[in-house]
Amino acid sequence: MTARAAPVVEGDRLAPLDALRGFAVLGILVMNVQLFAMPNAAYMNPTAYGDLRGANWWTWLLSRVLADQKFMTIFSMLFGAGIVLMSSRVAARGDSPARLHYRRMSWLLLFGLAHAYLLWYGDILTLYALCGLLVYPARKLSPRALLALGVVVIAVGSGISLLGGWSFPTWSDADVADFAADWQPSAERLGRELAAYRGGWTMQMPLRAEAAFEFESFEVWVWGLWRAGGLMLLGMALFKLGVLDGRRSRAFYSALAVAGLLVGLPLIAYGVHRDLAARWDMRYSLFFGEQFNYWGSLLVGLAYVGLVMLACRAGALPRLTRRLEAVGRLAFTNYLLQTILCTAVFYGQGLGLFGRVPRIAQIGVVAFVWAVQLALSPVWLRHFQLGPFEWLWRALTYGAWPALRRRSPDLALPAAVAGH
């Protein structure tokens, strides 16, 4: 390992990029909490489990319109931007960016598998590692080529879903029954899932491993690779165009926010209307109704990028944006910390509240986790240069132990993060 192969230093960090990453990490929990708190089926089919009236209905509706796939969109684009940023910096130091990148993704894949099988089957790290391995060769394409390729790849995922819906009448009875069991589980199946996650870690293991394997052996290939991979390609293009790090004009970000919200939100809301009219019919909602949010979430996600960049450029809400920067700098640790905190609340090794917390109260758990991460992330960065999982990932990637503690906690942290 040459001396030139070293992690990015603080002076090289891009504050708007970190703030956007922190915003995305926090926002992802609005949807992930449903998988932590309720049976798997309730994520895609809100009628599968729990009360869906009154405040619970409005909680689901707002989550669907404002959060579902929007923050995953942002985080996937940022992952692609990070590939371009890191590879260019490594190449500038004279080292091999490909060697470092593939080593980095390989370790992320192992982290993701451990997370999925040992803690929570909803892991996204495995998907990101696989996509990161595949999209890396495209990093040198022009922004226009990356935009076109990204849209095409995303469209493939949409096409697979539509093909599944159109071919549904030709499916065998066994295949239909398998999908129906996942879409609207029987009381017996729900009871097994509730008992397992309210029990100890060993009781959860068979269901957790089954769900993780199903995602990695089916959903990744028919949905995840196309969605996340395409978004990473878009992120590469948008970073090269200066969109994701605050380099564009205020007028550009304003137009991005307005256009994304004015087109994306009505499109998603109309999709909800169609799902309700179809009474959450499996064939319609799973394959056709999902298309409105699949594409609308891209527009709303871009609108959120515009809003965060406007806040960063204008210095609006400075205390909040500084804390978001800190959360974003510790994104890997904060993502895993969300799993640790939520499983402690909902799973049997903790409070055992799985299936007992209505949707409106789940948002209270989200707010609690947000408060913890927004409060602790700046404090941690006053004393340490990296989060614990960032430190471990970099140590494994670079083959050396990077410095963790700061020499002068009061002076080392930039004012943008310390809040001075």
**DSSP secondary structure string, 63-75?**
HHHHTTTHHHHHH
Q: 80 lies in a domain? A: yes
Q: 1 lies in a domain? A: no
Tens of pLDDT, residue by residue over 104-116, are 999 999 999 999 9
The boundaries of the domain holding residue 215 are: 10-418
Q: 323 lies in a domain? A: yes
Q: 366 lies in a domain? A: yes
Task: Name the percent of the chain lying above pLDDT 70.
Answer: 94
Burial of 399 (0-12, 13-18, 19+ CB in 10 A): exposed
Tens of pLDDT, residue by residue over 196-233, are 999 999 999 999 999 999 999 889 999 999 999 999 99
CA 391 and chain centroid, separation: 21
Q: 175 lies in a domain? A: yes
Burial of 357 (0-12, 13-18, 19+ CB in 10 A): buried
Contact 306, 243 (CB under 8 A): no
User: pLDDT confidence of 10, banded at 50, 70, 90?
Assistant: low
The domain total for the chain is 1
Q: 380 lies in a domain? A: yes
Q: 168 lies in a domain? A: yes
Contact 287, 168 (CB under 8 A): yes
pLDDT value, residue 316: 77
CA 322 and chain centroid, separation: 21
User: pLDDT confidence of 275, banded at 50, 70, 90?
Assistant: very high
User: pLDDT confidence of 94, banded at 50, 70, 90?
Assistant: confident
Q: 2 lies in a domain? A: no
Tens of pLDDT, residue by residue over 133-180, are 999 999 999 999 999 999 999 999 999 999 999 999 999 999 999 999
